[in-house]
Every structure is written in C-alpha cells, then in structure tokens.
C-alpha cells in the first residue's frame, strides 16, 4: 500500500448478519498522512523584543514564532543554549512542551563579555522533527552601562598642580575596559603620558609646569569589553608662582614665606 503525503484516508465499515442483511456504512474520522516536518520559525533572545545584551549571568530567556505544521500541528518544542551558534554546551536539548517561550532558564554560570545562542526545533503530532533555528545571540555584560569614572587621585575642584613636582593621576574605572582615546592640551608645553590598564587609567605629568597654566584632558571612546563606550573631560590648573599659601594672591604673607626659605637656603621656594 502506498499512501500520499497530505491526503486524509478513511476506514469505512459495514456489517452483514446471517440473513445477509447489510448494515449502514460507518466511517472513521480520518487519518491524514504527514511525512513533512514542521517549518522553522525565528528565535529571539530575551522575553520579548530581541536583545543583544544581558546583565544577568545566571538566567537566560528566549521566545520564538513562525514554526508551522499545517498537516498535523506542533506537538512540542525543544531548545538548547550554546556558546557558539547552534551548539548545546550550556544547555542540552530540553523539552518545552507547546510553549513558544523560555521565561528564565536559571542556574547558569554565563561569562562576562561572552556570546550565547538559543537554538529551537519543533516536533509535529506525526513525530516529524523540524530543522533547527538559531537566534542571533546575546552577550553577557555584568557591568550595566558604559565605563564610568569611580575615583581620581586629583581633586580638580579644590587642588592646584604644584609647579615643581611630578604628578601621577590615577583614575579608577567602574569596569574593565579595552581601549580609549586620550588627549591633553595646555597653554604651555607639558610632558605627559597616559596608559589604560583594564579597570584603571594612569596619567603621568612631568614637572616643571608653567604658572597659571590650564591642562585640559579628554578621554573619549573609553570602551568596555562588550563594546559600550563613554567619554569624559576634566581640567587641572597649575599654581600661581610665589603664591605659597594658594590663596590666589601674592602678598606680605608670601613674601614672609619666601624670606624665611631664603634665609634657610630652601631653593624650592624660588620656583614657587
């Protein structure tokens, strides 16, 4: 017997008694031949609109649509989660019933700045298994948002830069970062260097510095491990030469300080 895919067949039965009286024919409700697997749909990361980034390293969600089986219908879905497209190294094939979403598969240990992908397949009521459909992936970011300045070892609001001493400015960042663009401009020439070391920035300023100079710093495209970036700027002012008490004036108090230093042969005061 050769049956045709997509065709519904019926069993028809009638009975005869000993007197050869014929009964009314009775038919089954039909059997449709389904040899075709379900059509695959689209898989989205997250619980709604597709996401590309997640701040949760212990729970992952996905949803999908467009899986269709016109002959026998969808009986169940299965899903996996992998660290590469189509793989199952994080979550192996898991039955999800007829639900077209995973609202938080928990107990995971996902890694910061790593990408992960959900893959889904469907099985119809005839036991045919579809091909797989894989999401475009999402990256784990355990530090929400772009990098920020946490602290800096120079109080730009209250501190002035000494004219005679080298200075190191350390900036602590909110998260590990991979790159930045650095620029410093000043009225007078200043020898300076900068470096980025994961979650900190170091700026080295080499004395001497000009009196009443303005050092303007720009740190742009400060980029974290998942590609989010931010920009910051700040200004450092140098001291006024001969203003030994940093009150913005050169007066008798400064003259007294200079005279005392002169008598003590303290040459540092000669440069302010």
Question: Is a pLDDT exceeding 60 seen at residue 272?
Answer: no
**pLDDT of 184:** 98
Say which CATH topology domain 149-239 has: Immunoglobulin-like (2.60.40)
Neighbours of 63 (CB within 10 A): 21
Phi first, then psi: give them for residue 268, nearest 5 degrees: -60, -35
**Comparing C-alpha atoms, which of 212, 201, 214 is closest to residue 153?**
201
The answer to whether 38 touches 126, Cβ cutoff 8 Å, is no
Q: Which residue has the higher pLDDT, 91 or 260?
A: 91
pLDDT classification of 260: cutoffs 50, 70, 90: confident
Same CATH topology for 37-140 and 149-239?
yes
Q: In CATH, what number does 37-140 get?
A: 2.60.40.10
**pLDDT of 19:** 83
Question: Is a pLDDT exceeding 90 seen at residue 67?
Answer: yes
**182-186, Cβ contacts within 8 angstroms, sequence gap of 24 or more:** 182/217, 182/218, 182/219, 183/217, 183/218, 183/220, 184/215, 184/216, 184/217, 184/218, 185/215, 185/216, 186/210, 186/213, 186/214, 186/215, 186/216
Quote the tokens at residue 102. 């995973």
pLDDT digits (tens, 9 = 90+) for 8-52: 777 778 888 888 888 888 888 777 767 789 999 999 999 999 999
Mean pLDDT, residues 68-88: 95
pLDDT digits (tens, 9 = 90+) for 133-177: 999 999 999 999 999 999 999 999 999 999 999 999 999 999 999
Polymer length in residues for the chain: 272
pLDDT digits (tens, 9 = 90+) for 92-140: 999 999 999 999 999 999 999 999 999 999 999 989 999 999 999 999 9
What percent of the chain shows pLDDT beyond 90?
Answer: 72
Q: What is 233-261 written as a DSSP string? A: EEEEEBPPTT-TT-SS--SHHHHHHHHHH
pLDDT classification of 249: cutoffs 50, 70, 90: low
Domain positions in the chain are 37-140, 149-239
Q: What is 164-217 written as a DSSP string? A: SS-EEEEEEESS-EEEEEEEEEESS--EEEEEEETTEEEEEEES---TT-EEEE
* CA 245 and chain centroid, separation: 49
**pLDDT of 227:** 96
CA 103, 105, 110, 115 dihedral sign is negative
**pLDDT of 24:** 86
pLDDT digits (tens, 9 = 90+) for 186-200: 999 999 999 999 999
**Whole-structure pTM over 0.75, yes or no?**
yes
Question: Is a pLDDT exceeding 80 seen at residue 262?
Answer: no
> Which residue shows structure tokens 């650095």?
182
The answer to whether 260 touches 252, Cβ cutoff 8 Å, is no
């Amino acid at each position: 017997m050769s049956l045709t895919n997509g065709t519904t067949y019926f069993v028809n039965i009638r009975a005869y008694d000993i007197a050869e009286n014929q009964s009314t024919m009775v038919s089954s409700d039909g059997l449709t031949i389904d040899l075709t697997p379900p059509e695959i749909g689209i898989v989205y990361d997250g619980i709604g609109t597709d996401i590309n980034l997640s701040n949760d390293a212990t729970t992952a969600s996905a949803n999908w649509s467009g899986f269709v089986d016109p002959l026998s219908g969808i009986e169940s879905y299965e899903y996996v989660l992998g660290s590469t497209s189509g793989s199952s190294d994080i979550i192996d094939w898991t039955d999800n019933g007829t639900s077209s979403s995973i609202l938080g598969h928990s107990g995971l240990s996902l890694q910061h700045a790593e990408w992960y992908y959900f893959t889904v397949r469907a099985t119809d009521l005839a036991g045919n298994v579809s091909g797989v459909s894989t999401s475009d992936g999402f990256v784990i970011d355990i530090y929400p948002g772009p990098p920020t300045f946490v602290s800096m070892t120079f109080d730009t609001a209250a501190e002035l830069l000494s004219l005679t001493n080298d200075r190191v400015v350390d900036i602590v960042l909110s998260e590990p970062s991979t790159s930045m663009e650095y620029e410093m401009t000043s009225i007078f020439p200043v020898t300076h260097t900068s470096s980025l070391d994961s979650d900190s920035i170091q700026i080295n300023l080499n004395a001497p510095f000009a009196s009443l100079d303005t050092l303007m710093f720009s740190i742009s495209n400060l980029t974290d491990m998942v590609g989010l970036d931010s920009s910051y700027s700040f200004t450092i002012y140098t001291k006024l030469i001969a203003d030994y008490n940093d009150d913005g004036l050169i007066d008798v108090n400064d003259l007294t300080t200079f005279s005392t230093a002169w008598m003590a042969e303290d040459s540092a005061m000669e440069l302010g």
